């Protein structure tokens, strides 16, 4: 099959067999609900709100063009991969010499030399963005406990005193909050070994 490049993805051809995928409906289902996550991820990749907004818009356009080919699994990981590629392209357009920058090349090589593949880099960013998004959507009593224990490093007893609740309540809220965030990591497909910075058994056996 001849693959056409550098042109917008054509709309699905009904003559090709089967009903044409409804691009708009797929976009509504898989992409629009993830706008907050995409914006949070973009803020991690760009130095300003304006650039983050531009990057999200770029990502939305790319996602719309390819959503009919998306298999529907792990939309967040799919979208964050699109965003990362879009960001790399934007950086290259701004500074065509970017790839030749010895500092950046060194940094990139170091990261990969430490065992982090490009895929792992994407999943690292995705992991953090999913956690941030899930944290932001926690109900206030759960968020408050996570803020005290995980963000501020307080003990259960200190958190209980700050919130004027029993230690057992701190524990149950904290554990429920983390389980909820953990479930969202699974939904996003970013709780595998790559996201954790660990080599898989196959990679370990495969050597270099």
Partner 1 sequence: MIRLLRRRSLSCDEIMEVLQGYLDGEVDAKTARRVAAHLDACDGCATETDVYRRLKDSLAHVPTETVDPEIMDRLQDFSRRVIDGEMS
* Residues contributing to the site for partner 1 (CB under 8 A): 8, 24, 27-28, 31-32, 35-36, 38-40, 43, 49, 53, 56-57, 60-61, 64, 127-128, 131-132, 135-136, 146-147, 149-151, 153, 155-156, 171, 174-175, 178, 181-182, 185, 191, 193, 195-198
Which of 98, 183 has the CB closer to partner 1?
183
Which of 61, 208 has the CB closer to partner 1?
61
Q: Provide the minimum distance between the beta carbon of 15 and partner 1 in the complex, in angstroms, as a whole number.
A: 21
Which of 36, 166 has the CB closer to partner 1?
36
Q: Provide the minimum distance between the beta carbon of 73 and partner 1 in the complex, in angstroms, as a whole number.
A: 19
Q: Provide the minimum distance between the beta carbon of 44 and partner 1 in the complex, in angstroms, as a whole number.
A: 9
Which of 128, 203 has the CB closer to partner 1?
128
Instruction: Locate 155 and state its tokens.
Output: 């003990």
Q: Provide the minimum distance between the beta carbon of 127 and partner 1 in the complex, in angstroms, as a whole number.
A: 6
Q: Provide the minimum distance between the beta carbon of 32 and partner 1 in the complex, in angstroms, as a whole number.
A: 5
């Amino acid at each position: 099959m001849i693959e056409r490049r550098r042109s917008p993805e054509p709309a699905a051809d009904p003559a090709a067999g089967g009903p044409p995928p409804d691009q708009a409906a797929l976009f509504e289902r898989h992409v629009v609900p993830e706008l907050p996550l995409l914006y949070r991820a973009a803020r991690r990749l760009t130095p300003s709100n304006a650039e983050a907004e531009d990057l999200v818009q770029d990502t939305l356009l790319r996602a719309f063009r390819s959503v009919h080919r998306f298999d529907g699994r792990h939309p967040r990981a799919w979208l964050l991969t699109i965003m990362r590629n879009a960001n790399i392209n934007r950086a290259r357009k701004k500074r065509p010499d970017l790839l030749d920058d010895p500092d950046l090349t060194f940094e990139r090589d170091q990261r990969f030399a430490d065992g982090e593949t490009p895929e792992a880099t994407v999943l690292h960013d995705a992991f953090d963005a999913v956690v941030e998004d899930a944290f932001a959507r926690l109900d206030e009593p759960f968020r408050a406990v996570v803020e005290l224990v995980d963000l501020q490093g307080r003990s259960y007893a200190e958190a209980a005193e700050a919130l004027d609740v029993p230690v057992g309540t701190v524990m149950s809220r904290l554990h429920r909050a983390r389980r909820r965030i953990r479930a969202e990591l699974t939904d996003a497909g970013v709780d595998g070994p790559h996201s954790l910075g660990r080599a898989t058994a196959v990679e370990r056996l495969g050597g270099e």
